[in-house]
A and B are shown apart, each in its own frame.
Chain A
Amino acid sequence: GENVEQHPSTLSVQEGDSAVIKCTYSDSASNYFPWYKQELGKRPQLIIDIRSNVGEKKDQRIAVTLNKTAKHFSLHITETQPEDSAVYFCAANLLHGGYQKVTFGTGTKLQVIP
């Protein structure tokens, strides 16, 4: 089955700096890679995603890159703000027997220091 590794597990940055979170996946058939933000005590929320036919996608201060050959994808947050502090999860989505199977990474706790 799919295995998704995520690094780092914790990340502290100064406000205004950039943050980068990296994930690798094992199954080359995975074709959709979402990122979720989960604030303490709240539900995960989809913040950005990328499909396997795209190399990069940007939405304001957030960008995601995908390298299919190397099977890794990254989340980039620029000009970080205290409200970016949360746990971020990457995921790899695989269509399997007509059903989707989403495998989540282990999460990165991001702390933005004012």
Chain B
Amino acid sequence: SAVISQKPSRDICQRGTSLTIQCQVDSQVTMMFWYRQQPGQSLTLIATANQGSEATYESGFVIDKFPISRPNLTFSTLTVSNMSPEDSSIYLCSVGAGSSYNEQFFGPGTRLTVL
């Protein structure tokens, strides 16, 4: 399976600022996903990011708040904009693998705290 890294691993930010999270994969992948996992909760899909096309956002998530870049097949970024304490969460990227890209492998996550 692919080796996935994320930067930063954690950060503490002030409200109103923005943070960009990077996701790096050691091999080319078609499908990448961004999730949010609030403490003690399940995973919620934010968006699907495929290279060469605009990200597809899930209900409740908008591009102005969570802009995503996917410049190539090994890298993606998620920006959390104009942060508020409600954005405090773990953000994870994942890659789709397998014949239909169904199998997902997750990065280690970025723990974000907004003060």
Contact = CB atoms under 8 A, between A and B. Distances in A.
Nearest to B56: A99
Contacts of A106: 41-42
Q: Determine the main DSSP class of A at the interface with B.
A: strand
B107 A43 contact: yes
Interface residues of B, number: 24
Pick from A43, A46, A102 the residue with the most CB of B within 10 Å.
Answer: A43
Interface in B30-48: 31, 33, 41-45, 48
Contacts, number: 50
Contacts of A93: 102
A46 B42 contact: no
A114 interface: no
Interface residues of A, number: 22
B56 A34 contact: no
Contact of B102 (A49, A89, A107): A49
Contacts of B56: 97, 99
Interface in B42-99: 42-45, 48, 50, 56, 58-59, 92, 96
A46 B105 contact: yes
B108 A34 contact: no
Contacts of B100: 32, 95, 100
10 contacts: A1-B59, A43-B92, A44-B43, A49-B102, A49-B103, A95-B100, A102-B45, A102-B104, A106-B41, A107-B41
